[in-house]
């Protein structure tokens, strides 16, 4: 997840303002387009609680002109080390499929470190950077592992990140706010919260939201919409399919190829168009496409021609699958055979020998 320019700008404004926290209702960090003048309506969608929470977290869906935009929760949570607990106030934001997108302070409750020193502007930015990192090292640590207790010295502050905190952790968390960083990161990435928010989106999903998701250019929204496609949706959204196979994330490509109904996949034109995209796909999508063709009842000549042009770009096992697909054909067209011959005689092609080994002699190459 990348931090947009606007967020960086907001971050810088925090720096210059120091600890003054008057942001005219614009969240400190927010990774969707936030319209400062828009009227966002808040709708309670549920609460989430765990045994050791000081109180349940309440969640709200924020809408603009009745269109769902994001989820928000203003929460109070305890931040504890072995001996002392402090209360932390913060507002967290998630997108409509439960991904962290930003945070804000609550009025009268600027963030503080464990020694009660206020967060600096840099600390606020650091916290957002940490929360934006879904692969943070905090994921792998239990609270007990944050501090090497054998190295604690009397001078270390309780929530300090000096001395006893492992270097790898220290680099990621807000200095002096180790346990706060840990606590908030684990709330932002709590699977049960993500599931709850995604389920709610699912419950209100409609045509309007589908259109919004399909044009959002957010991978997770596109993926969510795709997974709910009917056969009719596949038929009506060919341009989305092609664009996504070309530019989407590999996981989206996989599900398009996996979920596409045979009636659509069997269309000569569309299948050919998709095979034309082979060179633009990542290595795993290429493999998945070849395997799908291998399992397909009908592989069109155009598809074979497109892929024959890419033989020298295939990996060893991809080439073997492609040659099996060719072997499954009664006969091959002139263009395909020409490209096969060309690949076979290409001295720079490291797998040319596989063509000899695997292509059925019936084609007389």
| Residue numbers at the binding site for other proteins (CB under 8 A) | 98, 134-135, 139-140, 142, 191-192, 194-195, 198, 219, 249-251, 254-255, 258, 282-284, 286-288, 315-318, 348, 350-351, 353, 357
Query: Cα 78–83–84 angle (5° rounding)?
Result: 40
Closer of 10 and 314 to other proteins (Cβ): 314
Minimum Å distance from CB 254 to other proteins?
Answer: 8
Residues in the chain: 365
- Residue 243, SS3? helix
CA 58 to chain CA mean position, Å: 25
Nearer CB in complex with other proteins: 63/216: 216
Nearer to other proteins, 334 or 348 (CB): 348
The residue (of 287 and 329) whose beta carbon lies closer to other proteins is 287
Instruction: Pick the closer one to other proteins by CB: 99 or 112.
Output: 99
Look up tokens 């076979």; give the residue.
344
Cα dihedral sign for 315, 320, 322, 326? Answer: positive
Return the number of the residue (34 or 351) whose C-beta is nearest other proteins: 351
**Residue 87, strand partner residues:** 78
CB of 287 to other proteins, least distance (A): 4
Q: Residue 262, Cβ neighbours under 10 Å: how many?
A: 11
* Residue 218 CA to its chain's centroid (Å): 8
Q: How far is CA 311 from the centre of its chain?
A: 31
Instruction: Please say which residue, 17 or 283, places its beta carbon nearer to other proteins.
Output: 283
Taking the C-alpha atoms of 157, 162, 164 and 167 in order, what is their torsion angle to the nearest 10 degrees? Answer: 150
Q: How far apart are CA 164 and CA 151, in angstroms?
A: 5
Q: Which is nearer to other proteins, 227 or 269 (CB)?
A: 227
Q: Give the N- to C-terminal CA distance of the chain in Å, as an integer.
A: 49
Q: Quick check: 159 and 115 in contact, CB under 8 A?
A: yes
In whole angstroms, the minimum distance from the beta carbon of 13 to other proteins comes to 28
Cβ neighbours of 340 (radius 10 Å): 21
CB of 323 to other proteins, least distance (A): 14
**CB atoms closer than 10 angstroms to residue 161:** 26
Tokens describing residue 278: 């082979």
- Apex CA 109: angle with CA 24 and CA 122, to 5°? 75
Tokens 């599931």 sit on residue: 195
* Angstrom distance (rounded) from CA 190 to CA 257: 30
Shortest Cβ distance from residue 148 to other proteins (Å)? 11
Compute the least distance from the CB of residue 224 to other proteins, in Å: 11
Strand pairing partners for 62? 42, 70
Closest approach of Cβ 226 to other proteins, in Å?
12
CB of 129 to other proteins, least distance (A): 17
Q: Considering the complex, what minimum distance in angstroms separates the CB of residue 109 from other proteins?
A: 29
> Residue 35 or 192: which CB sits closer to other proteins?
192
């Amino acid at each position: 997840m990348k931090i947009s320019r606007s967020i960086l700008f907001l971050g810088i404004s925090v720096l210059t303002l120091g600890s003054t926290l008057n942001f005219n209702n614009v969240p400190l960090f927010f990774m969707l387009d936030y319209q400062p003048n828009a009227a966002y309506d808040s709708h309670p969608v549920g609460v989430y609680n765990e045994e050791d929470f000081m109180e349940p977290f309440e969640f709200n869906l924020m809408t603009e002109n009745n269109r769902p935009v994001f989820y928000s929760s203003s929460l109070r949570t305890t931040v504890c080390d072995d001996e002392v607990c402090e209360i932390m106030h913060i507002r967290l934001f998630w997108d409509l499929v439960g991904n962290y997108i930003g945070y804000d302070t609550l009025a009268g409750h600027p963030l503080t470190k464990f020694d009660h020193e206020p967060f600096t502007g840099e600390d606020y930015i650091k916290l957002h950077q940490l929360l934006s990192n879904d692969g943070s090292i905090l994921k792998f640590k239990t609270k007990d592992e944050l501090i090497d207790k054998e190295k604690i010295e009397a001078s270390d502050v309780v929530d300090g990140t000096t001395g006893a905190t492992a270097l790898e952790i220290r680099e990621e968390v807000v200095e002096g706010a180790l346990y706060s960083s840990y606590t908030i990161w684990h709330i932002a990435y709590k699977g049960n919260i993500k599931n709850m928010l995604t389920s709610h989106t699912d419950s209100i999903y409609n045509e309007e939201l589908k259109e919004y998701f399909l044009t959002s250019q957010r991978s997770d929204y596109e993926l969510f919409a795709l997974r709910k496609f009917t056969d009719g949706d596949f038929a009506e959204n060919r341009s989305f399919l092609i664009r996504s196979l070309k530019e989407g994330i590999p996981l989206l490509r996989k599900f398009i190829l996996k979920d596409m109904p045979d009636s659509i996949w069997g269309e000569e034109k569309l299948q050919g168009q998709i095979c034309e995209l082979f060179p633009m796909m990542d290595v795993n999508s290429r493999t998945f496409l070849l395997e799908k063709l291998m399992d397909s009842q009908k592989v069109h000549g155009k598809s074979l021609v497109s892929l024959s042009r890419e033989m020298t770009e295939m990996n060893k096992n991809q080439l073997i699958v492609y040659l099996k697909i060719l072997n499954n054909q009664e006969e091959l067209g002139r263009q395909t055979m020409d490209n096969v011959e060309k690949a076979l005689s290409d001295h720079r092609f490291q797998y040319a020998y596989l063509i000899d080994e695997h292509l059925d002699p019936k084609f007389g190459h």
